[in-house]
Amino acid sequence: MRELGPLLIANRCEIAIRVARTAHALGLASVGVVTAPDEGAAHAGAVDVVVPIASYLDPAELLRAARLTGARAVHPGYGFLSENAAFARAVAEAGLTWVGPPPEAIELMGDKGAAKAAAERAGVPVVPSGEDAGFPIVVKAVAGGGGKGMRVVRAAGELEDATAAARREALAAFGDDRVITERWIERPRHLEIQVLADAHGACVHLGERECSLQRRHQKVVEEAPSPVVSPQLRARMGEAAVALAQACGYVGAGTVEFIAPADASEFFFLEMNTRLQVEHPVTELVYGVDLVERQLRVAAGEPLGLRQEDLVPRGHAVEARLYAEDPAAGFLPSTGTVRVYGEPAGPGVRVDSGVAHGSVVGTAYDPMLAKVVAHGPDRETALDRLDRALATYAIAGVTTNAAFTRALLAREDVRAGEQDTGLLERVLGDLDAAPPEDLVPAAMVAAAGTGHPPGPWRRVLDGHGEARVADGTVTVGERTWTGAALHPEPGGTARITLDGVTRRYAVAVDAHHVWIARDGHHLEVAPERRARRGTGAAAGALEAPMPGTVLLVNVADGDPVSEGEVLLVLESMKMELSITAPCAGVVAGLELEPGDRVTRGQPVVAVVPEGEDA
């Protein structure tokens, strides 16, 4: 084991912090890397040594960091270069230990077509593809995963545009624009099997994870075990996953993903991820195995030391991904500084986070802040514990999806385990995650109690309402609260009384803003006198919803457009955001070209309604 230290962790934020935690527990020194946007990031303080690099995707930079620090092994985490066979080979050629599977297994499983053929040879059920697929089909990237480079096509006329979009997204995310097509199974469950293999021929599985609650093919909530998988089905799926892992010469931790109908009466191979998964904590809690520790021990040449008959699930675990995003604004990523931060605690609660007080959340990387995980003796207890953990997570400064996730987990069908990969998209309009009406008056009380002007104030972005506070009375629009009082607490929280009810809030105030949050809801307010839009913006101007880069420009000044027509496509955080015409009219004020950078709120184009003077 000592031959692995120091261990270079070629990743960032919660991933790097989580790997470092186990490395330190095993007595290994850790080396971290940071790019310019991550200067001061939380993971820099969680490792023993830090080296600045230009990019997490540059193998030469990572190997330079290893040489500078005397690192003898590299753990790639997940994402970035974790499934890059060329990087794995470069690590080995540099005389370092690669904490992951052999490059040949990465290449085989990283090519979805080849992986599917390997699964067929191993006797694993597969989904029909190509000419046999029929409609609907799914176009998906050959390289990568996470829903990027993936489009569902329901008719032949949609195929060309969907393929082009999938290729663009795949190229941006993975540097590879190849795609394949497969039959799209309606309302499937997404089930995955965790496997562990050593270099001595041993391979076991650690049961399944249910990952069906997804939005845009990106997992939102995961759990183990699945509420519909029987011990018999678990054994069959596990045997299939182990057979595939052994057939491709796998070593280390990996995940074999399957899709299944709602009743899980059958299952089909989807893909294999040759790395640790974001959702691995639910497996760790249910099986009592530290997967990172097993990765390191296997990389050091140790035998696995696990027997399949001993790996029995105990209790239930559920994980929610906490994102800096605004569900009320179409889930656009939320940027800003984390001004209050306090993690939940309690029996069965685990938080793997990548931020701290003062962390800057930008657009350079994925907006996930943390994973909130709850374990209990049964599924109901685990869900209840997770709900409370999300409610008591104190974050102010950026909007999160905590309240939205709580509303999702409260649904009767979710509580009953009746879920599929399309459920979340279907019920978006039914989820009640509206902020409580006390947030605005509580914000006013916080502002007044810290010596800032009492108003008028307005909500940032939507211009909703006006609020005033004076002599213990708060008025927002036509609603009035009395007996207002502020009781500050350490750590950025405060108890605020309104109408005789006292609640705890996360609160941050400066001369221009108040940030306030409770029970997963977040609100930012600012003085009325602060104009939202610059004076140079044209009437009818459409604004960039977030910072990003112009990817496509489909129109020119003077072009007639119809309502809903896509004018521009922006890219931010590897997401494509379309700017569409709000009405029929004529394009005006367009000065952008592909490659141009835009800031949040920047006017990008105007549409002059038909019949009006441009």
Sequence ranges of the domains in the chain: 2-99, 128-183, 189-430, 439-527, 541-609
Q: Look at residues 368, 370, 369, 360 and name the one whose alpha carbon lies nearest to residue 36.
A: 360
Structural contact between residues 304 and 298, judged by C-beta atoms closer than 8 angstroms: yes
Cα separation, 557 vs 290, in Å, equals 58
Cα separation, 126 vs 180, in Å, equals 14
Spatial CB neighbours of 231, under 8 Å, sequence gap ≥ 6: none
Cα separation, 579 vs 586, in Å, equals 15
- pLDDT value of position 475: 87
Cα separation, 37 vs 21, in Å, equals 23
pLDDT digits (tens, 9 = 90+) for 156-205: 999 999 999 999 989 988 889 999 888 888 889 999 999 999 999 999 99
Rounded-to-10 torsion of CA 478, 397, 213, 290: -150
Burial of 584 (0-12, 13-18, 19+ CB in 10 A): middle
- pLDDT value of position 531: 32
Cα separation, 40 vs 50, in Å, equals 11
- Two structure tokens written together for 502: 């006292």
pLDDT digits (tens, 9 = 90+) for 277-302: 999 999 999 999 999 999 999 999 99
- pLDDT value of position 465: 55
Domain 2-99 in CATH 3.40.50.20? The answer is yes
Q: What is the CATH number of domain 541-609?
A: 2.40.50.100
Three-state secondary structure readout of 19-70: HHHHHHHCCCCEEEEECHHHCCCHHHHCCCEEEECCCCCCHHHHHHHHHHHC
The pTM for the full model equals: 0.83
Cα separation, 287 vs 281, in Å, equals 10
CATH superfamily of 128-183: ATP-grasp fold, A domain (3.30.1490.20)
Q: What is the CATH number of domain 189-430?
A: 3.30.470.20
Cα separation, 108 vs 397, in Å, equals 43
- pLDDT value of position 537: 38
Helices (H) and strands (E) in the chain, counts: 14, 39
Residues (pLDDT < 70) of the chain are: 131-132, 144-146, 452-467, 527-540, 573-575, 611-614
- pLDDT value of position 134: 81
* Amino acid (1-letter code) at residue 510: D
- pLDDT value of position 288: 97
Spatial CB neighbours of 606, under 8 Å, sequence gap ≥ 6: 538, 539, 540, 541, 542, 587, 588, 589, 590
Burial of 412 (0-12, 13-18, 19+ CB in 10 A): exposed
Question: Are both 128-183 and 541-609 of the same fold?
Answer: no
- pLDDT value of position 573: 63
- Two structure tokens written together for 127: 């989904």
